[in-house]
Amino acid sequence: MAAKFINKLHNQRVLIIGGSTGIGFAVAEGALEHGADVIISSSRQAKVDNAVSRLKKHLETANLPLRQVSGQTCDLSNPDTMEESIKSLLEFATESGKIDHVVYTAGDAIELRRLDTVSAEDVPKVGMVRVTGAIMMAKHLPKYVNESSRSSFSITGGTMSWRPSPGWSVLTSLGVESLARGLAIDLKPIRVNCAVPGAIHTELFNTIPEERIEAALESMRRDTITHTVGTPEEMAEVYLYFMKSTFATGTTVTADGGRMVGDSKDANITI
């Protein structure tokens, strides 16, 4: 009897925007392990080349069957060239056939704008890569993705939209989860879902001064029930679920260690 679960992505083609590092790279590894061919993109060619090399090495060291791994740059930072960059990436990704799944993990550099200092012209710039880029990607998907409920488009939100910290008012206006619900209607039969990560320990932590990293991690641990900070591999499971479950669309899945139901206090209550 043939396997029913581990081969669900076999011979499918997965495009990952933001796939050179962090969560996106872990999704690429997971898709390869499930038998998919993978195309990744990032803003810089050096990052793309390095990630492609690492993914091929992963296949080799894990004794996995060879799969197609490729990548191309896609700079989403300039709104004037964003749409053309996306179209160029999609043309590259479909040179050998249409795509089955698109995973969008690209995001903006976090720049908190205090409510008392924000101007009207600042607001459209907030979340430009994460939201505007996802919309522009969605606009072109029907031409490049197999139009079937087996296909999917996964975008990325964040727990701050639901449980913001002080100073996050402007950034929490992004509405990525509601965007997924709207796109699920507009792109059907292609399925659209939103992954919501909590604190995930990625290469972004390298920007924190070494003497402050442990304090930052401990603060994030205290904000969860599991008292842990997530790994990219743990978060990648959410995107793999979206790809594999052909009955999931218009929904949101959160992996945050319980942050949204915790309250940063020890829950040792005696009754």
For every residue of 4-72, DSSP letters joined together read SSTTTTTT-EEEEETTTSHHHHHHHHHHHHTT-EEEEEESSHHHHHHHHHHHHHHHHHTTPPP--EEEE
Is 270 part of a structural domain of the chain? no
Domain of residue 106, CATH code: 3.40.50.720
Average per-residue pLDDT for the chain = 88
Instruction: Select from 23, 29, 22, 5 the least CA-distant residue to 14.
Output: 29
Q: Specify the DSSP class assigned to residue 128.
A: I
Please check whether residue 267 lies inside any domain of the structure: no
12 against 129, higher pLDDT: 12
Domain count, the chain: 1
Query: For residue 260, is it within any domain?
Result: no
Does a structural domain hold residue 158?
Answer: yes
pLDDT of 126 strictly over 70: no
Domain containing 129: what range? Answer: 13-252
More confident residue, 124 or 195: 195
Between 240 and 264, whose confidence is greater? Answer: 240
Rounded distance between C-alpha atoms, residue 48 and residue 247, angstroms = 32
> Over the stretch 7-16, which tens digit does the pLDDT of each residue have?
899 999 999 9
b/e burial code for range 22-36 (CB count within 10 A of at least 16 → b): bbbbbbbbbbbbbbb
Provide the pLDDT for residue 1.
72
Residues 68-100 as b/e (b if ≥16 CB within 10 A, e otherwise) read ebbbbbbebeeeeebbebbbebbebbbeeeebb
Tokens of 198: 């909590």
Residue 223 lies in a domain: yes
More confident residue, 109 or 103: 103
Dist CA 103 CA 18 (whole Å)? 8
Residue 268 domain-assigned?
no
Higher-pLDDT residue of 185, 79 = 185
Band of the pLDDT at 158, cuts 50, 70, 90?
A: confident
The per-residue pLDDT for 204 is 79
Instruction: For residues 200 and 187, give the distance between their C-alpha atoms in angstroms, rounded to a whole number.
Output: 29
pLDDT of residue 270: 36
- Beta-strand runs (E) in the chain: 13-17, 37-42, 69-73, 101-104, 152-156, 191-197, 252-255
Residue 127 per-residue DSSP state: T
262 lies in some domain: no
Question: How would you list the strands of the sheet with 252-255, edge to edge?
Answer: 69-73, 37-42, 13-17, 101-104, 152-156, 191-197, 252-255
Q: Which tens digits make up the pLDDT trace of 174-201?
A: 678 999 999 999 999 999 999 999 999 9
The predicted model gives 253-262 an average pLDDT of 90
Residue range 196-234, pLDDT digits in tens? 999 999 887 787 888 888 988 898 899 899 999 999 999
Taking the mean position of all CA atoms in its chain, how far away is CA 97? 23
Residue 181 lies in a domain: yes
Q: What is the pLDDT of residue 136?
A: 95
- How much of the chain, in percent, has pLDDT values that exceed 70? 84
For the entire predicted model, the pTM comes to: 0.90
